[in-house]
Amino acid sequence: MLVGDVVRYALESEAWAGSFGFVILRLHPAVVNGAPVHYIRTDTSDRAYARAQRLVWGPKLASLVAPAASGPLYTVSGGPQDQTTILSSEPGRADYTPAWRIHRFRWTGQPRLLGSADDVQAAQAAGEITVQATDIILNAAVIKWSTGEPGRDVPIDVKWGLGWC
């Protein structure tokens, strides 16, 4: 089985000297504090979620379910179709981690776009949404953050060399 987010790969490449290949991963849009970011997904702690999303099942990721070990990632069930995933942090912040505990929210009031974890918590406190915290941990590194910089060493098309020993 090929991981569902792999767009293209090669075990060898003429672009680099030596025995190197590459993988190009699909970018997923999200928002942090109202600003757009993009992330990649690789593996998850939940076998059924891994199968459904075509990701690698990594059962040991389940140990990161504690709030201090993972950050909340919010997805909506129903509501505006242009509502993107909401992440609670991004690289450069002390609370950033690529391990995300998936939370699903559903509108009980009038749906609208939410742009931050604070918006989710405020809507929940106001009774506009219900939030279900799952025990699913998703390993999903943010590779393009709100400053628009993908990082100094990561090309935006996410080509990474894979070295073979």
The neighbouring-strand residues paired with 76 are 105
Domain membership of residue 3 (yes or no) is no
Task: Check pLDDT > 70 for residue 142.
Answer: yes
pLDDT digits 0-9 by tens, 2-13: 688 888 878 877
pLDDT tens figures, 18-32:
777 778 889 999 999
Q: Identify the pLDDT of residue 149.
A: 66
The residue among 42 and 157 whose pLDDT is bigger is 42
Rounded percentage of the chain residues whose pLDDT exceeds 90: 64
How many structural domains is the chain composed of? 1
Q: Tell if the pTM clears 0.75, that is, is over it.
A: yes
72 assigned to some structural domain: yes
Q: Report if residue 17 sits inside a domain.
A: no
In a domain, residue 130? The reply is yes
What digits encode the pLDDT tens for the residues 68-88?
899 999 999 877 778 999 999
What CA–CA distance (Å, rounded) separates 27 from 140?
10
151 lies in some domain? no
- Going by their DSSP bridges, the two strands 35-44 and 56-57 should be labelled as parallel
Tell me: the pLDDT tens digits for 123-136? 999 999 999 999 99
- Please compute, for residue 48, the number of CA atoms within 13 A of its CA located in the half-sphere on the CB side: 3
In a domain, 165, yes or no: no
**Where in the sequence is the domain holding 137, given as residue range(s)?**
27-146
Q: Is residue 136 part of a domain?
A: yes
The helix/strand/coil state of 50 is: helix
Rounded Cα–Cα distance for residues 6 and 148 (Å): 23
- Kindly tell me if the per-residue pLDDT of 160 is higher than 50: no
Query: Is residue 4 one of the residues assigned to a domain?
Result: no
